[in-house]
Amino acid sequence: MTMRTMNNNDLDFDSVIRFIGEQERFTLLSHISPDGDTLGAALALRLLLKRLGKTAEVVCANPVPKIYAFLPGAEQVVMPENAAGYENVISVDCADAPRFGRAIRIFEAAKRTAVIDHHKTNPGFGEINLVVADAAATAEVIHELFVRMDMPIERDEAICLYTGIVTDTGNLSYSNTTGNALRIIADFVEKKLVDIAELNRLIYRTVPYCKTRVQGFVNSNIQLEGGGMIGVGTLTQDQMHGYGATNEDCEGIIDGIRDVECVKIAIFIREGVDGSYKVSLRSKDIGDVGRLAELHGGGGHENAAGYTAHEPLSTVKAQIVLQAQEELKRALEAQGDRA
């Protein structure tokens, strides 16, 4: 099954393929607070490199969340302090260099670097930059690498790529879901490379009790701003620990805020162990939250983005609510102009 839809990036694909062919040892960097796409895409790429006879490691500044422990090779993801740190580094699904966390030193020390991503806010911070902004997930870009290198996809690679695609598309329900992504999944199913029922149980239907409790706490305290069009949830370290929850238990909370009927822009502000705040943003029907994240040095997509803030919680909240109101006003005015 041939799916070559990323023709605008032909030269970038060629550059990455040439880079892989010329070098022997690679460090693949995933982003902090790793999700299914950064892990699935990086682990699939690692398997591809190994089949080519290369040496490769996947490095992440945070441990693999329990929910993704089933991914083939997940147990071999290493922390920066334990990494070999090879001279050739490939960034996988990182919108910018700060997303490496403390693994940034490995990127900065590399002799050659490549970036493989799908975030439109990516500035192209590598020597080679393969950024496909209209791809549903970075896993979709990695799938294209397999196709262009004439490498048949095997079961373990399919599991990794499937996970990256479904988690970044809300189980194929978000507006970023591409026809190509659906064709990829259909191909995996037809070839019996993935068990959709089992993988969906592992990803979406196996929830720790503490995660249910902390999500319930945030959802029950959602504040509506901007006439109900902006939903805001917050969570401090003390509140999180009160439910025995960890950072990975907070993944998906933003979706519950976004799903409130009247909400157009969802905001979830979570305190980190260092006192900083991770701000997650989602938009529904209207509003570009990628634009908002960029104001604070973050990035992402039009409908999903985020950044890290270091001001007090009250300041962080007031700033982003005001900016979200301004973004909604801008978007509504733009709609009016087109009417």
Q: For 291-328, how does the pLDDT look when each residue is reduced to its tens digit (9 = 90+)?
A: 999 999 998 989 999 999 999 999 999 999 999 999 99
Identify any residues that bridge with 91 across adjacent strands, giving them in sequence order.
Answer: 29, 115
Spatial distance between the Cα atoms of 214 and 295, rounded to a whole number of angstroms: 29
Summarised one tens digit per residue, pLDDT across range 173-189 is 988 999 999 999 999 99
1 pLDDT more than 60: no
Q: What is the mean pLDDT of residues 195-208?
A: 95
Return the structure tokens found at 312.
């007090």
| Residue 334 confidence (pLDDT) | 87
Per DSSP, helices labelled H in the chain are 10-22, 36-51, 104-109, 138-148, 155-168, 179-190, 196-204, 209-220, 237-242, 253-258, 289-294, 313-338
**Distances from the Cα of 192 to the Cαs of 177, 189, 215, 283, in angstroms?**
22, 5, 35, 35
State residue 339's pLDDT score.
58
| The CATH homologous superfamily of the domain defined by 7-204 | inorganic pyrophosphatase (n-terminal core) (3.90.1640.10)
Helix axes 155-168, 138-148, angle to 10 degrees: 150
pLDDT over 90 percentage in the chain: 92
- What is the rounded average pLDDT for all residues in the chain? 95
**Residue-level pLDDT at 2:** 44
DSSP state of 211: H
Sheet holding 88-92, edge to edge: 55-59, 25-29, 88-92, 112-117, 128-131
144-172 pLDDT, tens digit per residue, is: 999 999 999 999 999 999 999 999 999 99
Encode pLDDT of 24-39 as tens digits: 999 999 999 999 999 9
pLDDT over 80 at 246, yes or no? yes
Map out the domains of the chain as residue ranges.
Answer: 7-204, 209-338
d(CA 32, CA 35): 9
Class of domain 209-338: alpha beta
Q: What is the pTM of this model?
A: 0.89
Tens of pLDDT, residues 248-298: 899 999 999 999 999 999 999 999 999 999 999 999 999 999 999 999 999
DSSP 39-88: HHHHHHHHHHHHHTT-EEEEE-SSPPPGGGTTSTTGGG-B-GGG----SE
